[in-house]
Structure 1
Amino acid sequence: MSKSLEQYNNNTDIDSKYEQTPALSSELVATYLLENPDFFAQQAHLLEKLEIPHSLKGSVSLVELQSEQLRKKVRALNLKLNQLITIAKQNEAIYRVYADLNLRILKCKDLDELKFILEEVIQENLKLSAVTLKPFKGPHALPEIQRRLFIEKRFQRDTFFFGRLSEHERKLLFNDQEANSVALLLIGDSSELGILAIGSKDASHFNPDMDTLLITQLQQFLGILLPKMLTY
């Protein structure tokens, strides 16, 4: 009787141990592999034997799948690198245009010559659709009411504005030239000299997030030149 009871207790202990052992699941396997990244290095013979379902190729080995994923990453990195190189080349070309423009306007002797150089370089070299320089003083000055309109509406926070204008504003600055997005620069230490307005056919070309380094330099050069050219 005691022997049977002892046997029963032993069987119960064995069953309890099996019940306490967690069932192997895909989550446990995944956790183990993540915690032991060198597992397949130690069990290299498994790599060619394991088959991974593939939507296009049926089943492939883990090595082949890893190689394909690596090739995809390399292609994506090459594409990103080529994009960065293209952007760098474009930025270099734009920098050279602005550098040349700044040198040329320094040699201008009057307002008409300055306007001509600005239009030639910005429209032809930068491929923008419109450019106009509106002085605040002199015989061709922007009327006071229009000056106040732009300053109060577009220059509340800064001496730049990038974005879109109303149809009325576009007419005042560009007449019939196409300008679906614009860059406006107030000129002068106290914004007292005028506005340089540049327009693009692309409605998203000029936007508030764009870099202002080069255009700030142009603004500073014009701030030096205009006082000598305007007739008071």
Structure 2
Amino acid sequence: MSEVTGHSSATNIVEPFDNTPSLSVEEIRDFLLENPEFFAQHPDLLEKIRLPHEQKGSVSLVEIQSDQLRKKVRHLTHKLNQLVTIAKQNEKIYRVYTDLNVQLLRCESVAEVQFTLEDVLQERLQLSSAIIKSFKGPHAIPELQQRLFTEKRFKNTNFFFGRLSQHERQLLFGENQAESVALMLLGDNRDIGILGISSSDASHFTPDMDTLLLQQLQQVLNIILPEMMGY
């Protein structure tokens, strides 16, 4: 009690706390990051915290977390479905190339090899064309064009994926559609010719494609073609 007025001096009692520094936003943020279990220990706070939302107005933190979780689940489900689709497509392609290699080993002539390549790749993989262009014989690519083409497209590799110039498309594929192509040099010494596979889709064959299946196809052709072509 005040000796002068006889009233309680409550203001004097709380006065020392008036100068207590308040927590900064950064300090609160750091505390929550260091104590991720805080809201688990105080679940009643989650429903009381209200946050602005563009469509729903003010919503609770729980609602926002639930909405974010649903979006994440939908995104992960979509990614999983994409991976499953890609896996099924890759399995189909693997089976096609496995069957193709077996059929090629049974061929007895270059004509049979050419027919088998066309039949399997065009029919089962919906590619535009598959053709062998030899470096020797009556239908060979002219020697100068062989050298220029090889130096340009096969400088450091036996494979090329992507798009060709109009002249190159005409040289290898004639009138067949070839918006994007996969090419491989044939022969252990790169001297038999080129296998060209084309697609009407400009994005089907890209430079970053894996060469595993085509390497296996190349190995089979390098075994069977030399004797057929008189090498």
The one-letter amino acid paired with 1:102 is N
Aligned to 2:60: 61
SS state at 1:156 partner: coil
The unaligned stretches of length 5 or more in structure 1 are 1-13
The offset of 1:22, in angstroms, is 4.5
State the 4+ residue runs in structure 1 displaced beyond 2 angstroms. 21-28, 137-143
The one-letter amino acid paired with 2:135 is F
Q: Does 1:129 align with 2:153?
A: no
**Separation (CA, whole Å) in 2 of partners of 1:137 and 1:64:** 73
Aligned to 1:99: 98
The one-letter amino acid paired with 1:78 is T
Aligned to 1:10: none
Aligned to 1:204: 203
Q: Does 1:30 align with 2:53?
A: no
Judge conservation of contact 1:163–1:206 (CA < 8 Å) in 2. yes
Larger deviation, residues 132-141 vs 79-88: 132-141
TM-score scaled by structure 1? 0.88
Larger deviation, residues 129-138 vs 214-223: 129-138
The offset of 1:26, in angstroms, is 2.5
- CA deviations 1:7-50 (Å, max 9, x no partner) are xxxxxxx69x93xx644332222221111111111212212222
Aligned to 2:137: 138
**Separation (CA, whole Å) in 2 of partners of 1:49 and 1:136:** 79
Judge conservation of contact 1:138–1:231 (CA < 8 Å) in 2. no
Aligned to 1:48: 47
The offset of 1:117, in angstroms, is 0.6
The one-letter amino acid paired with 1:43 is H
SS state at 2:102 partner: helix
The one-letter amino acid paired with 2:93 is I
The unaligned stretches of length 5 or more in structure 2 are 1-15
State the identity as a percent: 62
**Separation (CA, whole Å) in 2 of partners of 1:45 and 1:180:** 62
The within-5 A match list for 1:176-187 is 176-187=175-186
**Separation (CA, whole Å) in 2 of partners of 1:186 and 1:198:** 12
- CA deviations 1:96-119 (Å, max 9, x no partner) are 110010011111110111101101
Judge conservation of contact 1:130–1:198 (CA < 8 Å) in 2. yes
The one-letter amino acid paired with 1:193 is I
**Separation (CA, whole Å) in 1 of partners of 2:45 and 2:170:** 74
The one-letter amino acid paired with 2:207 is P
